[in-house]
Amino acid sequence: MKRTILALDVYDFKKAQDLVEKTSHYIDLYKVGPILFLQSGREIIKMLKDNGKEIFLDLKFHDIPATVKRSVESARDLGVFSLTVHSIGGEEMLKSASSVENRPKIWAVTVLTSQITTAEEVLRRAKLTKSCGIDGVIASPLEIPIIKKGCGSNFDVVTPGIRPVRIEDDQKRVATPESAVKAGADFIVIGRPIIESPNPAEAAKNIYEAVEKL
């Protein structure tokens, strides 16, 4: 599977469909978050599957253990490849999520990449999630080496905060696609630099060429 995950952070189904058509050659896994899921839920899942794509459902579950467990079961029944829970939900919640049979991959959010934190705090949360049976974490590119060292190379690290060129926005802990992959990211998540580009196909192609050859 290709390493770049495209975040379909758009309101409109048709816009999402257009982005999938334009970037299909370079992307296997598309991230569907609340913005699009609340607008066109099952329709967007079906469209991606009809195009032979996998889905990363990024709804960041953070609730009581029983509710999170049932949410993971519902996501499994939708047939998604991966989903997110929030590490601050705590040990019992994380264990409930990971106990679901035949479940998608679960990645836990450590600290949002729009927030300032320390690598030690991210590592502390990563170790907690690993001990609860979670498959990997969402972290900033800057924390990849410490997580891989502390949690092992089989523990997935998925990194948003990817900026081919620095732009002033809400992301604070950022890196280029190449440096994130060189540091060991299993997947990089990228949204606005592609979806807001005047030429999304070319933006996706440039990132694909930069990271898939590494």
Cα(10)–Cα(15) distance, rounded to whole angstroms?
7
> Which residue in 19, 94, 190, 203 binds ligand C5P (CB under 6 A)?
190
Interaction pattern, residues 41-80, with ligand C5P; x per rule: CB under 6 A: ----------------------------------------
Which of 60, 95, 127, 205 is the catalytic position? 60
Binding residues for ligand C5P, how many (CB under 6 A)?
A: 15
Which of the stretches 62-70, 90-98, 127-135, 185-193 binds ligand C5P when contact is defined by CB under 6 A? 185-193
> What are residue 205's phi and psi, to 5 degrees?
-65, -45
Phi/psi for 100 (5° steps) reads -65, 130
Closer of 17 and 113 to ligand C5P (Cβ): 113
7/185 with CB nearer ligand C5P: 7
What is the C-alpha to C-alpha distance for residues 141 and 9, in angstroms, rounded to an integer? 20
Angle at 149 between CA 145 and CA 151, to 5 degrees: 115
Enter the tokens of residue 95: 């264990």
Active site residue 60: yes
CA separation for the pair 166, 169 (Å, rounded): 9
C-beta of residue 29 within 8 angstroms of C-beta of residue 1: yes
- Contacting residue, 20, 75, 83, 138, with ligand C5P by CB under 6 A: 138
Q: What is the identity of the amino acid at 162?
A: I
For residue 65, give both structure tokens.
């253990």
Task: Work out which of 192, 197, 206, 210 binds ligand C5P, going by CB under 6 A.
Answer: 192
Instruction: Write out the catalytic residue numbers.
Output: 60
Can you give the binding site for ligand C5P, defined by CB under 6 A?
A: 7, 9, 33, 109, 112-113, 138, 160, 162, 171, 189-193
